[in-house]
Amino acid sequence: MISSIVFIILSVASFGFFAWNIGKIRSNIFLGRDVNRTDNKSERWKVMTLVALGQKKMFARPIPAMLHMALYAAFVITQIELIEIIVDGTSGSHRFFRASLGGFYTFMISFIEVLSVLAFIATLAFLSRRNLLKLPRLNMKELAGWPTKDANLILIMEIILVSFIFMMNGADEVLLNEKGSSYGFSISSWLGPILFGGMTESSLHLVEKIGWWGHIMMVFTFLNFLPYSKHLHILLAFPNTWYSNLEKKGKFTNLEAVTNEVKLMMDPNADPYAVVEEGAEPVRFGAKDITDLTWKNLLDAYSCTECGRCTSNCPANITGKLLSPRKIMMDTRDRMVEVGEGIRKNGKDFSDGKSLLNDYITEEEIWACTSCNACVESCPVNIDPLSIIIDLRRSLVMEESKMPTELAGMLTNIENNGAPWQFSQADRLKWADEQ
């Protein structure tokens, strides 16, 4: 009874704290402007199924894709065992579903154990890639400090979690063996006797309880670590891919305020002296801070896995430019969290005098972008760093009249000559006279 009460208290506290953090994340995301991403629902379900559930884009790099698939499958399937643990913890029972499911129960736990072994191997491989092989995209300067610790910590937690699973199942298997029976689990049936054979019954019960409680405590810890970690993508990958931009890559959005202004100029019946609606907020061109971005941009930032595939495929970054699309997303998330906390503490009029542009992301970074969409194409969860970059550029150009000298000259030529070159249209074919 005491054990059940403790379990229930811990469960309520854990899920309650998780829900509280999810509420904060939701409010942070909706600091962004509204954008409609509910059209073409059938296509959206298809994209989510292929990209988030099927991890289609991961397989551009087969080896890490297979390792990640092992972790992903283990995470999803082991939730079945978690259901039984919650039932056992609440009711005080032991392996509640075994009697009713019979052979299917043995199959499911055996399948989970096989996945857990594969996840253990994948975890060791990922730790090695980061810390021994030191893959360049996993050791860039934007990952210094907490991002690297975050990645390593979650992998270590995975190893501990798998170890507790086999402590629980292995000791349980040996206890049943001593009674002349067996669960017949695929891994624990032989691993249990190797690790725990010869121990007293009381010691086996202790090991089993340590494994059981250790497993559920690691689950609770992992659950409440997610909102502070890049691994939130485990949950957000699904809505993020569902709300993907289904337009063709390279198609930019028009600024509604500019479009309306042009229509006003083209309409001979329009009143150029029409008074702006009283109390209306002035229209901002582009984005300077996170509140100028859309909620989908901010959802992208929370969904970022920090895998660096966008940056490793970015031609600007490859040639030594300052731009890193991964850093763009990480900076957007950091600024969003900062603004969200400020608003919750100080009210909706909170202002700290900082902005995403300049305080987090520099002009040099956004002007290094070639708008090639390589980052968008390579992202495993359909994040779109380019849309953020373009809106930051728009703010510089249309709000502050700031742009690189080379670009200013080109735009002047287009305005005067109808082309990027310093030749009038009448002189454009004079080069042919010399042939």
pLDDT in tens, 143-196: 999 999 999 999 999 999 999 999 999 999 999 888 888 888 999 999 999 999
Report pLDDT digits (tens) over 229-248: 999 999 999 999 999 999 98
Q: Cα angle at 36 between 359 and 345, to 5 degrees?
A: 40
What is the reported pLDDT for 295? 96
Least confident range of 76-85, 229-238, 258-267, 305-314: 258-267
Q: What is the CATH number of domain 2-30+61-242?
A: 1.20.950
Which residue stretches of 280-423 are H helix? 295-303, 309-312, 315-318, 325-346, 356-359, 363-367, 374-378, 385-394, 400, 405-417
405 falls in which pLDDT band (50, 70, 90)? confident
Considering the entire predicted model, what is its pTM?
Answer: 0.89
Indicate the average pLDDT of the chain. Answer: 90
Quote the CA–CA distance of 195 and 16 in Å, as a whole number. 37
Percent of the chain with pLDDT over 90: 67
Per-residue CA distances from 251 to 245, 278, 293, 299, 405 (Å): 10, 34, 17, 20, 25
User: 58 to each of 43, 66, 375, how far by Cα in Å?
Assistant: 20, 9, 14
Domain with CATH 1.20.950 in the chain: 2-30+61-242
CA distances from 205 to 8, 95, 186, 413 (A): 21, 14, 21, 82
In angstroms, what CA-CA distances link 262 with 254, 258, 272, 375, 396? 12, 6, 12, 32, 21
- pLDDT tier, 102 (very low <50, low <70, confident <90, very high otherwise): confident
CATH 1.10.1060 domain locations along the chain? 256-274+282-403
Could you say which of 1.10.3470, 3.40.190, 1.10.1060, 1.25.40 is the CATH number of the domain covering 256-274+282-403?
1.10.1060
